[in-house]
Amino acid sequence: MLRLYGSARSRGLRVLWMAGELGLTYDHKDWLPRSPETRTPEFRALNPNLRVPVIDDDGFILSESMAINFYLAKKHKSPLYPSDPRHEALALQWSLWETDRLDRQLVNYVRHSQELPEAERKPDLAEAAWKEIVPAFDALEAALAKSEWLAGPAFSVADLNVASALYRALVVDLAKWPRLKAWLHRCWERPPAKKARAMREGK
């Protein structure tokens, strides 16, 4: 049995989206980041980093949302896992790139410009994050000018990983990046994406 640790209000969102695409059934431990459940010796044994998401797939333990999505798509022989090695490599490239160039930056930007109560916002942090986000968005815009999808001719784990990680970009003004905006909405229009989003937003 597949067990998935991590709330939709965490990077678990990405895995919930993938599980939906694959039509998987799973036991969901709907735990928030830093919740008491993630501070037990049992959870530390699953992920010494104490972070969600984590999966336990019949005893195979895996953390890191993007790696989990690669594993699940490949294991279930999904068309979302590119069969061409070049497309597979591109999927890895974009997933690793997002983790490096946009992941934390986007969280910091949106939290410190919109989400947190005003008294808790740090404008300097938001500004510094935005300075990194702009060239990253430019890079995505350029890639999407050449191809409709990030890794090959169709929607794949690359698009899912990057678009899911760009959840917070849905509330950012993307007028300067029309291709990125259209691609992001194309990805989030998929029914499993909408379902994962509804789980996160409590709808």
Binding positions for ligand GSH, rule: CB under 6 A:
10-11, 33-34, 50-53, 64-66
| Residue matched to tokens 């989003």 | 197
3-state secondary structure of 63: strand
Strand (E) or helix (H) holding 106: helix 103-110
Identity of the amino acid at 162 = V
Task: In angstroms, give the least distance from the CB of 144 to ligand GSH.
Answer: 23
- Residue closer to ligand GSH (CB basis): 116 or 145: 116
Task: In angstroms, give the least distance from the CB of 150 to ligand GSH.
Answer: 17
- Residue closer to ligand GSH (CB basis): 156 or 161: 161
d(CA 161, CA 94) in angstroms, rounded, equals: 8
Task: In angstroms, give the least distance from the CB of 11 to ligand GSH.
Answer: 4
- Residue closer to ligand GSH (CB basis): 38 or 177: 38
- Residue closer to ligand GSH (CB basis): 33 or 192: 33
Structure tokens at 111: 């939290």
d(CA 178, CA 176) in angstroms, rounded, equals: 6
Measured over the CA atoms of residue 55, residue 166, residue 23 and residue 37, the dihedral's sign is positive
Task: In angstroms, give the least distance from the CB of 20 to ligand GSH.
Answer: 18
